[in-house]
Every structure is written in C-alpha cells, then in structure tokens.
Amino acid sequence: MSREDIQTGLAEILEEVAGVTPADATPEKSFTDDLDVDSLSMVEIATAVEDKFGVAIPDDELGNIKTVGDAISFIEKNQG
C-alpha cells in the first residue's frame, strides 16, 4: 500500500476516533500538539490501525509515534 493510501486510511481513523477533519491529517502534524489527540485516543487509533491495516502497534512503540508521518512510516514498514 502506498504512503498516500495509508494516509487516507489513517485520516478516516482519526476522524472516526478523534473527530479530526481529514484535511488536517497531514504528515507533519503532531497528534498531541496539533490534533488534540490524547494518549487514550492513541490506543484507540492503534486498535483501529490493527483492524484496518493488519499492523499491530504495541504500547512501547506507540510512545514513539508523535506525528501523523510517524504513524504512516510505521504502518508502511510493518505491512505484511
């Protein structure tokens, strides 16, 4: 799956979980600082990512994902 497709899928998840406007879900955006997504919502995003992309994000890795771009890279790297 291309980075573009991953970004689109992730934007859907962010809208569903945290009410983020899809146009705002761009790679440089910080989850906590720019998109008002807290650590519990990050857990819900990780669960939804696993459902949608088949990529599991363990809690310790989740702590390293600060931006939308970080999430896209993680999914791209761990795709089956």
Partner 1 sequence: MTQIQLPTVAPGARILGLGAYRPRRRVTNDELAQVMDTNDEWIQSRVGIAERRWASEDETLVEMAVAAGGKAIAASGLAPDEIDLVIVASASLRAPIPGIGPQVAHRLGIPRPGSFDLNAGCAGFCYALGVANDDIRAGSSRNALVVGVERLSDVTDQTDRSTAVIFADGAGAAVVGASDEPGIGPVAWGSDGDQHNAIEIAAGSSTMTMAGQAVYRWATTKLTQTLFEAMEKAGVGPADIDVFAPHQANLRIIESMTKKLGLPASTVIARDIIHAGNTSAASVPLALTALMESGEAKSGDLALVLGYGAGLTFAGQVLVLP
Query: Residue numbers of the site for partner 1 (CB under 8 A)?
Result: 38-40, 42-44, 46-47, 59, 62
Alpha-carbon distances of 77 from 22, 46, 55, 56, 73, rounded to whole Å: 23, 15, 9, 12, 6
- Which CB sits closer to partner 1, 47 or 78? 47
- Which CB sits closer to partner 1, 5 or 38? 38
- Which CB sits closer to partner 1, 8 or 39? 39
Spatial distance between the Cα atoms of 73 and 16, rounded to a whole number of angstroms: 21
The least distance separating partner 1 from the CB of residue 4, rounded to whole angstroms, comes to 28
Spatial distance between the Cα atoms of 22 and 14, rounded to a whole number of angstroms: 8
